[in-house]
Amino acid sequence: MLFPEKMVEVSIIVHKQYFDSLLMELHETGWLEIFDYKQSKTVESKNISGVEVPIKRAEMLADIILNANRLRDILKKMEFVPPTLYQSLKARKVPSARPIAPKPISDIIADARKTIRELDYIFKLDSELSSLTTQKNHLKLQIEKLQLFKRININLRTFEGTPNIAIKVGRTTRPEDLKAELTDTLSDRVRSRKQFALYLHQVPDHLEERIAVIIVPQDELINIRKVMVGRNFKELELKGFEGTPNQVIAQLKTEIENIDKRIIIINDKLGAAYNRYSERISILIEELEISRNKTQILSQIGQTADTYIICGWCLERQLKPLQALCDEVTSGHVSVKYIEPGKDRANDVPVKLRNPKWAQPFEMLTTTFAYPKYNEIDPTVIIAPLFILFFAIMLGDAGYGMVLLAVSIFGFVKFRHVSITIQKLSSIGIYAGIVTIIIGILMGAFFGDLIPRYFYGDSEALLYSLKIGSFYLPYDSFRNPMLLFIISLIVGLFILNLGLVLGAMQNIQNKKFKELISSQLAWFVLQPPAVLLIGQSLLKLWVLSDNMFTLSIIMLIAGLLLMAIKYRTFTTFEIFGFLGDWMSFARLLALSLATMGVAFTINLIGELLLNSASSAITFGILAVLVGILLFLAHLINFLLQTLGAAIHALRLQYIELFNRCYEGGGAQFQPFQTQRYYTKLRGTKL
């Protein structure tokens, strides 16, 4: 439980007659992470050659998968998308797996080609739809442009000019500047004979903008090119139109209506295709991906004249089922060898976490930091209760805990099928909500002091009163924070020493005795005398006898010397680093006070507003407003404090604890396994 699953290195030598069947069964079971046979310690690779990957088949599969994914993407556009995130999550369903018979890859490829040829019309419909959409958008832009001329009742063909006369139409917001610039750029001949014209027309709904029509001789276009590209004139293309602007706009709208009718017909056909073929295409893609994985894995497999050699990592507990499967599939024509990985291969061994069911959701907290190495402690079962405890103390409000619990239960019940991440986060939220409620009750906080302030009529009153021995509940950390501060430091010292113990266990296992002495044993020797001496000299808690004082000094010096073996001149920095990490646990108190302080302030503001009421009607209106205020303000406080508690609870794990016992850097166990969502295989040995 404190370490990952044990692995064994396996080599399977199978007769070529049974290779395809065995590979299929290994792919379905997912018991083996296959690696290159050349890296194996169980086989001699001198007389073994690699299997040549069928390049043509691999390229064929890649091309077919590409086309099949295009089909799926086209049809997915027809899928109904709920308008809200909640409805979207609720609508997602786990597909029911359809039983299928095993088929050789060649048959899968042939079936896929036949299906894609059959559905080729979908590509054509999508292409036409894309073309129509582009055409429709172009027509809309044309209409938008022609709206500028709707008050001009002349044939638009006029603006195309004649062989001798050039007409340019554009927009301007500086008509006077445009006129001056045009006059300056024209030749003396045209200017003197006044062989040019500039007409300005008001743009509808744009008071500062004008339509500018420039008329010049054709041979003068070269001279006014500067005007055409200048900031005072933005040319509008009006070629190819016949009729007045309003007539052309009506024609274009008719074209858009016809396009819309055709688009509706195409969408209906694609919608029918989605209902009929979407599941079939998903099954096809799944089978093709599985076939591609089988093809790609061949590069990792060795061969001789009569056999194939498959090498990989297997969970130790699955070794016997693997051997039995190989014997059954090959009728005994197989040899399965295995060895346990040596310490020299610890960094090569993949990692499969092994935790009890209650702790499995918290594995994501460990792996977010890093996967443990094969010979390293898996801290999941340790950080799980610590994370929940730290989170609950920092949130520390029973009301907020109830909200978190309700949201988490709702998410788990309604959406756990959507993704494994939602399922794990909901599970963590349920644990955190329950413990937060307990801590909140012990501290007497329910949305701050909401109940005493609004229902008891006394903000100084306690939520309840209970005496257990000499201890009174609830404990009010807001008015008496010192007890929680002391508890935080005690918890911090425990966590730091827990990290030292775990680090010592790991160093003993890996026979790193120098690291054990300087990084862990030194602290175990140093801490007791430090506590005794601080208790006497600074806190005045006790008086040590001469012998005890001398022994404390000797142990203190011994601890420093042991630490200096590794840290040398940086020993002082290590000590202050330890103290800093210890003080870091004061954040348990700080965030707890922050949650309650904000909640108290929210309730106080609401009370002040209610007390300002001058009449029953005013009080009623204010009561509604205060209710809304309390709801929104507590919701914001809940969200912010929940986020803060989660981040700081993780920080105490990742920095203060992991810094002393956990390095990470392992690789996840990734078995050679089919990923089936839409299908399940008939006739296998599973």
Inter-CA distances, 433 with 385, 437, 478, Å: 13, 6, 21
- Angstrom distance (rounded) from CA 544 to CA 391: 39
Please compute the mean of the pLDDT values over residues 404-423 and round it to a whole number: 90
Residue 484 has pLDDT above 70, yes or no: yes
Ramachandran angles phi, psi of 210, nearest 5°: -130, 150
Instruction: Find where tokens 């610039």 sit.
Output: 181
- At 1 the pLDDT is 67
- At 686 the pLDDT is 47
Residue 47 has pLDDT above 80, yes or no: no
- At 630 the pLDDT is 95
Inter-CA distances, 76 with 147, 278, 313, 461, 469, Å: 37, 8, 39, 60, 66
- Crossing angle (nearest 10°) for helices 120-146 and 55-76: 50
Band of the pLDDT at 67, cuts 50, 70, 90? Answer: very high
Q: Pick from 44, 29, 100, 103: which is nearest to 324 by CA?
A: 29
Band of the pLDDT at 641, cuts 50, 70, 90? Answer: very high
**Looking at 152-161, 203-212, 287-296, which range is the least confident one?**
203-212
**Full DSSP string of 593-630:** HHHHHHHHHHHHHHHHHHHT--SHHHHHHHHHHHHHHH
Residue 87 has pLDDT above 90, yes or no: no
- At 677 the pLDDT is 83
At 269 the three-state DSSP class reads helix
- Angstrom distance (rounded) from CA 26 to CA 36: 16
Q: How confident is the model over 532-586, as pLDDT tens digits?
A: 888 888 777 788 888 898 998 999 899 889 888 888 888 888 889 899 999 999 9
Residue 249 contacts residue 158 (beta carbons within 8 Å) = no
Q: Pick from 276, 285, 291, 286: which is nearest to 119 by CA?
A: 276
- At 91 the pLDDT is 56
Structure-block tokens of residue 290: 């599985």
User: How does the average pLDDT of the chain come out, rounded?
Assistant: 89
- Angstrom distance (rounded) from CA 132 to CA 663: 58
- Angstrom distance (rounded) from CA 212 to CA 238: 13
Residue 37 contacts residue 115 (beta carbons within 8 Å) = no
Residue 393 has pLDDT above 80, yes or no: yes
Please compute the mean of the pLDDT values over residues 306-317 and round it to a whole number: 94
- Angstrom distance (rounded) from CA 311 to CA 140: 63
- Angstrom distance (rounded) from CA 14 to CA 214: 86
Residue 499 has pLDDT above 70, yes or no: yes
Residue 344 has pLDDT above 80, yes or no: no
- At 85 the pLDDT is 55
Q: How confident is the model over 575-615, as pLDDT tens digits?
A: 898 999 999 999 999 999 999 999 999 999 999 999 888 88
Residue 457 has pLDDT above 90, yes or no: no
- At 46 the pLDDT is 67
**% of the chain at pLDDT higher than 70:** 96
Residue 86 has pLDDT above 60, yes or no: no
- At 90 the pLDDT is 58
Please compute the mean of the pLDDT values over residues 252-263 and round it to a whole number: 94
Residue 683 has pLDDT above 60, yes or no: no
Q: Pick from 44, 474, 122: which is nearest to 278 by CA?
A: 122
Classify each residue of 174-203 as buried b or exposed e, where b means 16 or more C-beta atoms within 10 Å of its C-beta.
Answer: bbeebbebbeebbbeebeeeeebeeeeeeb
Ramachandran angles phi, psi of 98, nearest 5°: -95, 130
> Burial level of 263, CB count in 10 A (0-12/13-18/19+)?
middle
Side chain identity at 279, as an amino acid letter? E
Structure-block tokens of residue 575: 């000590």
Structure-block tokens of residue 563: 């630490």
**Highest averaged pLDDT of the listed ranges 291-300, 424-433, 457-466, 548-557:** 424-433
Residues 6+ apart with CB under 8 A from 280: 115
Q: What one-character DSSP code corresponds to residue 660?
A: H
- At 94 the pLDDT is 60
Residues 6+ apart with CB under 8 A from 589: 477, 481, 484, 485, 488
Residue 306 has pLDDT above 70, yes or no: yes
Band of the pLDDT at 395, cuts 50, 70, 90? Answer: very high
- At 176 the pLDDT is 87
**Looking at 69-83, 379-393, 470-484, 624-638, which range is the least confident one?**
69-83
Residue 598 contacts residue 641 (beta carbons within 8 Å) = yes
Please compute the mean of the pLDDT values over residues 193-202 and round it to a whole number: 81
Q: Which residue has the higher pLDDT, 507 or 46?
A: 507
Inter-CA distances, 319 with 12, 328, 685, Å: 12, 14, 16
- Angstrom distance (rounded) from CA 530 to CA 237: 88
Residue 149 has pLDDT above 70, yes or no: yes
Residue 675 has pLDDT above 90, yes or no: no
Backbone angle region of 30, left / alpha / beta, with phi > 0 → left and psi within -120 to 50 → alpha: left
Structure-block tokens of residue 336: 């399965």
Omega prior to 474 cis, within 30 of 0: yes
Q: Pick from 269, 264, 291: which is nearest to 68 by CA?
A: 291
Beta bridge partners of 32: 314
**Full DSSP string of 51-106:** PPP-HHHHHHHHHHHHHHHHHHHHHHTTS---SSHHHHHHH--PPPPEEE----HH
Residues 6+ apart with CB under 8 A from 12: 22, 309, 310, 311, 326, 334, 335, 336
Write down the pTM of the prediction.
0.79
Band of the pLDDT at 126, cuts 50, 70, 90? Answer: very high
Residue 385 has pLDDT above 80, yes or no: yes
- At 82 the pLDDT is 63
- Residue 632: count other Cβ atoms within 10 Å of its Cβ: 11
- Residue 379: count other Cβ atoms within 10 Å of its Cβ: 24
- Angstrom distance (rounded) from CA 71 to CA 80: 17
